[in-house]
């Protein structure tokens, strides 16, 4: 049984300030909580945040993490490309003990990212 795929999505658009990036995360988080394909979705917590750090919430600004069953990655990708196709994001995927990190700012780059994630899912 393959384990869930862990996806970390970070909004890295240089034209957005931290507040705007955080709004993007809140919107996406709310939308993803309603998806059947998603096992879990949450904000990324800052581990051992140093005193005086910027984030008073204890969350990493502009970032969320989701867990998806391998067979649902493609459906989730359709959802994400509809919502994030024109946003600059960084995507980290982890599955089967392997990790990749991809920057995407267009639907084409998101398509390439889903192909790379599916490569991670292939058995050795």
106: Cβ contacts below 8 Å, ≥ 6 apart: 85, 86
pLDDT band with cut points at 50, 70 and 90 for residue 19: very high
**Each residue of 88-99: pLDDT tens digit?**
999 999 988 889
**Full strand arrangement of the beta sheet holding 5-11:** 38-45, 59-68, 5-11, 89-95, 98-104
Let me know the angle formed at the C-alpha of 91 by 60 and 78, rounded to the nearest 5 degrees: 120
How many other C-beta atoms are found inside a 10 Å radius of the C-beta of residue 7?
Answer: 23
**Quick check: helix, strand or coil at residue 103?**
strand
| Single pTM value for the model | 0.84
Domains of the chain: 5-121 (3.30.70)
């Amino acid at each position: 049984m393959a384990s869930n795929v862990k996806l970390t999505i970070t909004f890295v658009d240089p034209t957005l300030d931290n507040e705007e990036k955080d709004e993007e995360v809140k919107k996406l988080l709310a939308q993803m909580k309603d998806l059947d394909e998603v096992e879990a979705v949450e904000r990324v917590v800052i581990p051992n945040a140093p005193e005086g750090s910027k984030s008073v919430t204890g969350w990493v600004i502009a970032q969320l993490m989701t867990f998806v069953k391998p067979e649902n990655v493609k459906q989730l990708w359709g959802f994400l490309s509809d919502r994030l196709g024109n946003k600059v994001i960084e995507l980290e995927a982890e599955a089967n003990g392997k990790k990749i990190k991809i920057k995407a700012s267009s639907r084409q780059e998101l398509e390439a990212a889903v192909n790379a994630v599916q490569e991670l899912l292939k058995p050795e």
